[in-house]
Amino acid sequence: MCAERRKNGSEAREEILTKVKRENVRFIQFAFMDIVGVPKMVSVPAKRLESVIDEGVAFDGSSVMGYATIDESDRRAIPDLSTFVVLPWENGLHKTGRFICDIYDTSGKRFEGDPRWALERVLHEAKELGYQCNVGPEYEFFLLETEQNGSPRLVPNDRGGYFDMMATDSGELVRKDTVNFLIETGADVEATHHEVSSGQHEIDLRYGDALSCADRVFLLKDAIKTAAKSHGLHATFMPKPFFGRNGSGMHVHQSLADPSGKNLFYDPSIKYELSDLCCSYMAGLLAHAKETCAVLASRVNSYKRLVPGYEAPVYICWANKNRSSLIRVPAGRGKSTRMEMRSPDPAGNPYLQFAVMIASGLNGIEKQMTPPEPVEKDIFRIPPKEREKMGIANLPESLGHAIACMEESKLVQDVLGKHLFDHFITVKLKEWDEYRSQVTSWETDRMINI
């Protein structure tokens, strides 16, 4: 499967070695993500690249969340040569190149706990069915002020609002630096702008195949953090850092294409100009929304964002224009026909997030599911009994609730595989148990005098 996508021939290898030498690259990072989406890497001096480019580098998986097994923890990071970039923010004696890697076990097989492998398996299934899976993530984040020692303060860096055009400030410079970084590495950016909340920003990646986009999200997070630090700021992907303000999401636009690139979601002859394939894909996303929620919104704080009143989805339905729905179909048609899933947030693992969404859509196609009619009015204003009559269910209200839904999901277990599934639930149950045992200032402020 990997061989279908990689440039693993001698030509690609020699191109990389030549580039490293020509640009005087000093270090090479072998990068990957842990189960919850935290970037990890092993760095080697560039002079060692020729000896490790084929075999990768070994590391101790017991130190990486979700990577150890009962019997062994030795892992090997093998570089995907097609992902090589020279990091534009490292120069001189620190100039660094990076591969995103696939993880193998000691027997030479792909490690089943590698999140990237979970996405690749789903994309292989889609390819066997004749589909190319395209996604376009809209990535939101907050920029915070910092203390003199560089630690973050819970203070937004500006007082701007949605699409505000302000005098050039550090926040805009962070966005511009990030875009320049991405362009230099060959990653396409669709647009950037200030978001609704003070100190909140958005960078939209260009539509592309799901694996490449997940790799770009990996790079994007690093680029944002680096750009923010260079301007004395701290970038956070925490979904809801401030009470009473909008949180940060990662809305994911999705579509399927045939091998020639034709958009399979478009059909001008039927209602809404959405093909039967598109409607079944959408129905799959809706049908599996509860059981995939723990992956798409994977932190306890994620569920502070998924509450009424802040443009984040709470109810499982779709619409063409209504931004309070879980899925929105933007106005573009023809090659631009797509749907936008609005529950994912930037704190998760993009490989797993894309995998469970695409698998849900494919399951909808396989079972020829049909979505309900769109809901074009503000769902937050519909009385609960009326919502119930309309068949509009709620997303899980907490991480604990979401984990309970996920535990019963055959689809998510099949997508992640037993190792990832079991480890993910174990890690998230620990997070939930630690969270729910805390005593907050909200409680003491209101109950200390009881």
Would you name the residues annotated as active-site residues? 60, 138, 140, 195, 202, 251, 323, 340, 342
Q: Scan for tokens 């303000």, then name that residue.
A: 245
Distance CA 70, CA 65 (A): 14
**180-189 core/surface letters (b: 16 or more CB in 10 A; e: else):** ebbeebebeb
Distance CA 247, CA 245 (A): 6
Distance CA 251, CA 297 (A): 11
Phi, psi of 175 (to 5 degrees): -60, -45
- Closest to 245 in 3D by CA, of 175, 159, 148: 159
Distance CA 153, CA 71 (A): 43
SS (HEC) of the chain: CHHHHCCCCHHHHHHHHHHHHHCCCCEEEEEEECCCCCEEEEEEEHHHHHHHCCCCEEEEHHHCCCCCCCCCCEEEEEECHHHCEECCCCCHHHCEEEEEEEEECCCCCECCCCHHHHHHHHHHHHHHCCCEEEEEEEEEEEEEEECCCCCEEEEECCCCCCCCCCCCCHHHHHHHHHHHHHHHCCCCEEEEEECCCCCEEEEEECCEEHHHHHHHHHHHHHHHHHHHHHCCCEEECCCCCCCCCCCCCEEEEEEEECCCCCECCECCCCHHHECHHHHHHHHHHHHCHHHHHHHHCCCCCHHHHCCCCCCCCCEEEEECCCCCEEEECCCCCHHHCCEEECCCCCCCCHHHHHHHHHHHHHHHHHCCCCCCCCCCCCHHHCCHHHHHHCCCEECCCCHHHHHHHHHCCHHHHHHHHHHHHHHHHHHHHHHHHHHHCCCCHHHHHHHCCC
